[in-house]
Structure 1
Amino acid sequence: MALFKFTRAMLAGEAIDVYNYGKMQRDFTYIDDIVEAIFRVQDKIPIPNADWSVESGSVAMSSAPYRIYNIGNSQPVPLMDYISALEQALGMTAKKNMLPLQPGDVLDTSADTKELYDLINFIPETSVVTGVKKFVDWYRGYYQV
C-alpha cells in the first residue's frame, strides 16, 4: 500500500509521510513472485492433522486439509532504499515529511517463509528496484500519467 500511496502523492507533487525518520525496514514482494508461489503450491494438497485441537493447534493448520503459508521475500529492505527506488523509477525526488514513529508501528517486518520454501523450494526473484519500476510502469499506463 505504501508504494501506491507514495506514487500517487509524488506524481501529484505532494509530500510523502516517512515515519521514524525512515529508519524502518519492510519486506518487499512483487506480485509476479506471489503469483508464482501460489501457482507452485496449488497442487500441494495438505494432509489433515488428526491430532490438531483448538486448544493446542496453530491457525495455519487443522484437522481440515488446508495450510496457511507466508509468501514474502524474507529480505527486509530499508524504507529509504524503497523510496530511492521509487524516486529513480519516477525520475523525481520525493518531498518527504520526516515524522516520528507512530504508536503501535514496528521497526522491522519480514515474512517467515521457511515452511513455504521447504514445501516448494521457492525464493522470490524480483528485486526492489525491478519491482518498483514495473509497478510505476503499470501505474503510469493504467492512470495515464
Structure 2
Amino acid sequence: CRKYDIQHLTYASSHAVYGAGFQKAMSEDDSANHPQRLDAATQRACELMAHSYSHLFNLPTTGLRFFSVYGPWGRPDSVLFSFARKILEGKPIQIYNDGRNSRDYTYITDLVEATLRASDSPAEPNPVWLVEAPHQGSSSAPWRVLNIGNSLPVAIDDLIATLEESLGKKAIKEFITGQILEKSQSCADVTALQRITAFKPATPLKVGIDEFVTWFRHYYQL
C-alpha cells in the first residue's frame, strides 16, 4: 500500500475480538483487548498494526468486524454446512447449552454490500478524538473499525428449526454438556456503519437459509 500509493486499505476482522461477557449489542467503542481465542488475538493484532500504519504513514485503513457470515460458497467447516449435511444424512448434530447460545448471523450479500460501501468511504481522522478519553473505534489517525452484522441474535435452536424447514427434514439432536469455548451471545451495533455507508444488513434468516439450502443441494448434489 505504501509503495503503490493505495488510497484506502479495507481488511477483514471479526467480532471474536470482543471476547466474552457481553449482554448487549457489541459496539466499536467497547474494549476489544481480551479475546479468548488465538485467531481472535491475531485479528486484534492486525487491527493494531493497521493503526500503526495509519499513524506513521497517513494510510487510511478500515477493519471490518464480521458477525457470523453465512450463505452460498461459505466455509465448509462452518456450523451451517455441518448441520445441513448431518440433517440430510440422518446423523445427530451436537448442541451445547440446550440450544440457547445465540449469534448474529449476517447474509453474504449484505456483507458484500457493506464492504463495498465502506471501501468507497475512506477512513478519516476523528477530529474530536482525545488521548484522555479515547474512542475505541476511531483515532486521530485515518483509522477505524466497523461492525457488520444483522443486529438480530438467533438462538442455535431457532437456526436449526429454520434449516429443518428449508431442508424438509428434521434433525436428530444430541444435547451435550461441557466447556463452552466461545461466548454464548453476539449482536452487532451497526450505528457507525449506517452513519458512514447509509446501509444496514437486514436479510431475514429464513430468506438467507433458503438461498443457502438451494445452493448447498445443487453444489453437493444432495
TM-score (norm 1): 0.85
**Partner Cα distance (1:57, 1:142) in 2:** 48
Native 8 Å contact 1:21 1:101 kept in 2: no
Q: Aligned residue for 1:71?
A: 148
Q: Which runs of 5+ in 1 are unaligned?
A: none
Q: Aligned residue for 1:136?
A: 213
Higher strand fraction (1 or 2): 2
Native 8 Å contact 1:48 1:63 kept in 2: yes
**Partner Cα distance (2:188, 2:178) in 1:** 21
Pairwise CA distance, 1:61: 4.0
Pairwise CA distance, 1:100: 2.6
Cα deviation, 1:33-82, whole Å, max 9, x if unaligned, reads 1011112222111113589799x866744565332211001111122111
**Partner Cα distance (1:139, 1:58) in 2:** 42
Native 8 Å contact 1:23 1:78 kept in 2: yes
Q: Aligned residue for 1:90?
A: 167
% of aligned pairs identical?
Answer: 42
Native 8 Å contact 1:52 1:63 kept in 2: yes
Cα deviation, 1:90-136, whole Å, max 9, x if unaligned, reads 11000011123533332211122221122122222211111011111
Q: Does 1:30 align with 2:107?
A: yes
C-alpha RMSD of matched pairs (Å)? 2.4
Native 8 Å contact 1:20 1:102 kept in 2: no
Cα deviation, 1:10-39, whole Å, max 9, x if unaligned, reads 122211111101112111111011011112
Q: Which runs of 5+ in 2 are unaligned?
A: 1-77
Q: Aligned residue for 2:44?
A: none
Native 8 Å contact 2:103 2:187 kept in 1: yes
Q: Does 1:19 align with 2:90?
A: no
**Partner Cα distance (2:127, 2:86) in 1:** 51
Q: Aligned residue for 2:124?
A: 47
**Partner Cα distance (2:176, 2:141) in 1:** 46
Equivalences, count: 145
Q: Does 1:114 align with 2:191?
A: yes
TM-score (norm 2): 0.58
Question: Relative contact order, CA 8 A, sep 6+: which one is greater?
Answer: 1
